[in-house]
Structure 1
């Protein structure tokens, strides 16, 4: 049976990661910290499992499992022919 992954908010991430808010956002942009997950129009959080993996190996963590924007197979315009 699968267990649902908990979504944690910024306050929890700050406490667990031991980083400042600006450092977290900088590391997200660099691809060295897990990206947020949108949970509502005005809310976002992190999957707790992603934070756990980052804490286990902060120097070795890379955003290889994150979806990349602008990938060729994500571009749906190729399917539309006029």
Structure 2
């Protein structure tokens, strides 16, 4: 079984160079993938979604 790595918000900010407010603004505009819920108060982004976004985003 292959388990995909997931990144928390602070890691996503480091990887993308986006700040929290920009990140969530882009999510609401449909320009960045939505995180998935890991626990009641925790979300994370699958590595595959981040790679896909980085490969396709013009600023990347």
The TM-score bracket by the shorter chain reads 0.7 to 0.9
Query: Structure 2 matches for 1:28-47, cutoff 5 A?
Result: 28-47=27-46
* Consecutive unaligned residues in structure 1, runs of 5 or more: 60-82
Point out 4+ residue stretches in structure 1 off by more than 2 angstroms. none
In the alignment, which residue of structure 2 is the partner of 1:79? none
Distance in 1, Cα, partners of 2:3 & 2:57: 24
The equivalent residue for 2:55 is 56
Q: What is the TM-score with the length of structure 2 in the denominator?
A: 0.88
RMSD between superposed Cα atoms in Å: 1.1
Between Structure 1 and Structure 2, how many residues are aligned?
58
Deviation at 1:57, TM superposition (A): 1.1
Give the Å deviation of 1:32.
Answer: 0.7
- Offset at 1:6? 1.0
Q: What are the ranges of 5 or more consecutive residues in structure 2 without an aligned counterpart?
A: none
Using CA pairs below 8 Å that are at least 6 residues apart, which structure has the higher relative contact order? 2
